[in-house]
Every structure is written in C-alpha cells, then in structure tokens.
Amino acid sequence: MKAISFYQPGGPEVLRYEDVPNPRPADGQVLVRVRACALNHLDLIVRGRGPAPGLPWPHITGADAAGTVEALGPGVSGIEPGTPVVLNPALSCGQCKYCRAGEQSLCRSFGILGRDARGAMAEYVVVPAGNVYPVPADLPLCEAAAAPLVFMTAWRMLVTQAAVRPGERVLVVGAGGGVATAALQIAKLLGATVYVTTGGPAKVSLALALGADAALDYRSTDVVAAITDLTGGEGVDVVLDSVGAATWESSLRCLSKAGRLVTCGASAGQTAEMDLRVLWRKQISLHGSTMANDREFRDVMGMLANGKLRPVVDRVFPLIEAQAAETYLESASRFGKVVLEV
Ligand SMILES: [Zn+2]
C-alpha cells in the first residue's frame, strides 16, 4: 500500500510517500481502507520526536481518519465490510480500573493512534473493532475524518468537565485551532452565549459565520476589557483555553465568580503563573481534560452523523503532498482542519 512513512525524527523533509506492506487485522481488529486522514499538531510532534518507544521503524502517523471497513480480524462480527466509518483515535487497555469504569481517556496505558500505534496516513490501517463508528453514506469522508480528535476533546471539555448549561456564557480562546473551532460549535449547540478570541479580521469573520456571538481580535483588542464589557462586568461562566501560558492570565481574569476554566493543551507555553488568591476569592475551578471516553466519542459522533455538528475543513491535499500539508498546518492563516485525501 502507499503510505507516508518516516525512518527518523525530523521536519517535513523526513516524510516519504512510498510502498509499505499492508497491515493485517489481528484478533479483535478491523482493517480499514482509509479515504481521508486529517492532520493534528500531534502528527508534527510525533514526526519531530518519533513514535512511542518500542514501535518499529518506519513509523506512520495519523490519528484522525475515515474510510470503509475492508476486512475483519478473527473474533470480530457486527460490522459489514464496505461500511463507511470514522475512527476513534483513543487506544485503551479495556482492563484497568478506569477502562472498567468507562473512563478510557484515563486508562493506565492510554494511547493515541499514530503515536502509540501505526497511524492512518496510509491506504490501510488496523484498529480495534471498538474504535470504528459507522457514519451515514452521504457524509463526505473528508469531513468525517476532520472530526474525531478535536470534537471528542471539545465535547468532554464542555459537556463533561465544565458541564456547560443553556444560557451560560462561554469564552473559547484561539478560534482557528481545531479544538477551539469544534468547541465554538458545541457550546452553541449546548445553548450557551459564545465569545471567541482569534487573530486577524479574516478569522473574526469566519468565527462569526460559525455562530460566535462575538469574536475578538486579540491582536487589536484588550480581551479582558472587552469580555468585561460584553458581560456587564460579570465575566464568563466558562473559559476553554488550549493555548497555555500566553493566555492563562487573561483567561483567569475573564472568568466570573464561580467560573470554570478548562484546558486540554498548552501549545503556547506549558508553564504559567497564577495568583492563588484568585482561586478562592472568585471560587473558580480548574479542569484538565484529555480526549474523551468511548461514550463521549459515540455521543459527539452521533451529532456529526445527524448533521448537528459540522467539521470545518480548511484545505484538502492528496496523500502524496503530505509534506506540504504538514507545512501548511503550521501556517498562521489556517482556520479549521487540514485533510489528506487517500
Ligand atoms: Zn485501561
């Protein structure tokens, strides 16, 4: 099969479009013919550092994919070859106390497709049978592939961790990134008033078109002052911040009393300082979140399948142009997902 493989960590130049042996589904696995694979920053991190220790070279990244079931491994039933599916990129052991409690993203050996196993930037990939979710035949597979990682992450953050209620005010920091763009849509679906920050007038327009009640250009706006103004001095109930150190302080200052801040990443700085007095004086809560459990994955994919949520695809590249696609992923002008068509 054709795949995007690499033999050592490095920049986009290490990626090769080449023939590699087809994977075979083992016990409990499904072989999927990949039709679309969406990129995530995770792909760049794994390309730069290499895959999880113990995995053989060459490695193939790719966490997010959609395609059709090609073949079933021994012991698998209940899904027909040819079925269009989207993949759950979360890998879990199924046996530890967290998995038994249905909290797969807390699994003691939690992994992600493309980092802890060979990924989907290829014509075929094998995944556990529980990791395929059927999608309607009329859902474009490039859109389906763009959904799992960012929508499952944003869903757990807003629905489970921050428990957003209708009528609450939510600030999504950094709309344009995948998780933030998914979060904007989910927060609207939950009945919240949604404010976003983003960089530049073009992205402000795109965020408003996606349903944001207000979009603040952080390059030209005092975000804290604007949020104070928009909320009559109260601040927002929930802030979703996956940016990190660069926005941590202003995110805290945007919170109302008893507000909740939820984070899933720190792409712009991993170490932040805070005045701890703010925690108790405002009685705020901090929530960390990673990916999603199986139920949350099914819940949010159900919303995708019935058209209530729609991934934002910025640009589609053919698989052979993976180098260019990964370079584009890092460009500041991007709004939404970058997808490889396979
Ligand atoms: Zn487990």
DSSP line for 202-222: HHHHHHHHTT-SEEEETTTS-
* Cα of 297 from ligand 1 centre, angstroms: 16
- Determine contact, residues 132/32, Cβ cutoff 8 Å: yes
Whole-angstrom Cα distance, residue 302 to residue 157? Answer: 17
Determine the distance separating the centroid of ligand 1 and the alpha carbon of 130, expressed in angstroms: 14
- The stretches in the chain having pLDDT less than 50 are none
Assigned token pair, 108: 């003691």
* Cα(106) to centroid(ligand 1), Å: 7
Q: Let me know: does 143 contact 65? Beta carbons within 8 Å.
A: no
249 HSE (CA, 13 A, CB side): 8
pLDDT value of residue 69: 98
Q: How far is the CA of 109 from the centre of ligand 1 (A)?
A: 6
Centre of ligand 1 from the C-alpha of residue 278, in Å = 36
What's phi and psi for 265, nearest 5 deg? 180, 170
C-alpha 115 to ligand 1 mean position (Å) = 17
Cα(51) to centroid of ligand 1, in Å? 20
CA of 73 to the centre of ligand 1 (A): 22
Of 124, 121, 145, 146, the residue nearest 16 (C-alpha): 121
User: Ligand 1 (ion): which residues have CB within 5 A?
Assistant: 92-93, 96, 99, 107
Q: What is the largest CA-CA distance in the chain?
A: 61
State residue 87's pLDDT score: 98
Distance CA 274, CA 144 (A): 39
> Residue 92 C-alpha to ligand 1 middle, in angstroms?
5
Distance of alpha carbon 155 from alpha carbon 50, whole angstroms:
29
SS3 59: strand
The pTM assigned to this predicted structure is: 0.95
Quote the tokens at residue 244: 């990190």
> Residue 46 Cα, ligand 1 centroid: separation in angstroms?
22
Query: Length of the chain in residues, anyone?
Result: 342
For residue 292, the CA-to-ligand 1 centroid distance in Å is 13
Q: Based on C-alpha coordinates, what's the Rg of the chain?
A: 20
How many angstroms does the Cα of residue 94 sit away from the middle of ligand 1? 5
What's the CA-to-centroid distance between 182 and ligand 1, angstroms? Answer: 27
Using the mean position of ligand 1's atoms as its centre, give its distance from the Cα of residue 111 in Å: 10
- pLDDT tens per residue across span 66-89: 999 999 999 999 999 999 999 999
> Separation of 34 CA from ligand 1 center, angstroms?
26
Q: Which DSSP helix (H) or strand (E) runs through 228?
A: helix 223-230
And the tokens for 266? 């720190």
Nearest in space to 13 (alpha carbons), one of 326, 333, 334: 326
Distances (CA, A) of 331 to 31, 212, 225, 234, 294: 33, 23, 29, 35, 32
Name residue 217's beta-bridge partners.
198
Residues 22 and 78 sit within 8 Å (Cβ to Cβ):
no
